[in-house]
């Protein structure tokens, strides 16, 4: 019995050590700033999509100064080396979506008053369903039309400035 237990413990230790190795692709810190018409923009969702649609995309959201830091597998962990197509959007939600009562929503569900305007946002009530509005030109939110390509690489600054017009 002791031999079996020792074997199991040995196997578990080996699995843990192998599983904790640092092998595999490395993430590199990548940051940037987004301006629109010369001014920093807060709340822009920035996406770095691997060129060729293989690999992991990276994401970031701009702060009040227009600055962002990319995340891939965890918060602010960077991006893999490679070429990317960059898209950006800043969506202004309808007023109804900004009045969410999280506690009521958790207790009573979407239709129970926790999310005012839910019915109209989902097209369940009479009238037109309000559409979110992208506050940046639409071309920047599509990989085919953004026209922005960058490369993340080892040893590079990997800091980008996007001046949108």
Per residue, the 3-state secondary structure of 68-94, as one string, reads EECECCCCCCCEECEEEEEEEECEECC
Instruction: Give the pLDDT of residue 134.
Output: 85
Which of helix, strand or coil describes residue 12? helix
* Per-residue tokens: 95: 């007023």
Enclosing H/E stretch for 17: helix 2-19
d(CA 102, CA 7): 51
Condensed to tens digits (0 to 9), the pLDDT of residues 123-164 reads 555 555 556 778 999 999 999 999 999 999 999 999 999 999
Which of helix, strand or coil describes residue 67? strand
Cα three-residue angle 130-134-140, rounded to 5 degrees: 150
DSSP output for 26-65: PEE--EEEEEETTEE-TT-EEEEEETTS-S--EEEE--TT
Name the CATH architecture for the domain at 25-91+135-165: Sandwich (2.60)
Q: Please list the pLDDT of the chain residue by residue as tens digits (165 residues).
A: 454 444 444 544 444 444 454 567 899 999 999 999 999 999 999 999 999 868 899 999 999 999 999 999 999 999 999 999 999 999 876 665 556 665 665 566 655 555 555 555 555 555 555 567 789 999 999 999 999 999 999 999 999 999 998
Predicted structure pTM score? 0.68
DSSP 66: S
Q: What's the full length of the chain, in residues?
A: 165
| Cα first-last separation, the chain | 73
d(CA 26, CA 79): 8
Instruction: Give the pLDDT of residue 104.
Output: 64
Q: Where are the chain's structural domains?
A: 25-91+135-165, 94-131
CB 103 within 8 A of CB 115: no
């Amino acid at each position: 019995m002791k031999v079996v237990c020792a074997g199991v413990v040995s196997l578990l230790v080996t699995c843990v050590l192998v599983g904790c190795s640092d092998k595999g692709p490395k993430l590199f810190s990548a940051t940037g700033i987004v301006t629109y018409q010369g001014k920093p923009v807060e709340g822009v969702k920035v996406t770095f999509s691997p060129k060729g649609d293989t690999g992991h995309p990276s994401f970031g959201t701009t702060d009040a100064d227009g600055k962002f830091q990319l995340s891939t597998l965890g918060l602010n962990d960077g991006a893999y080396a490679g070429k990317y197509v960059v898209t950006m959007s800043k969506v202004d939600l309808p007023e109804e979506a900004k009045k969410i009562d999280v506690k009521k929503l958790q207790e009573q569900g979407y239709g129970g008053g926790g999310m005012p305007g839910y019915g109209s946002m989902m097209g369940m009530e009479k009238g037109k369903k309000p559409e979110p509005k992208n506050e940046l030109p639409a071309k920047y939110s599509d990989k085919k039309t953004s026209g922005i390509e960058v490369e993340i690489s080892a040893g590079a600054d990997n800091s980008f400035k996007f001046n949108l017009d």
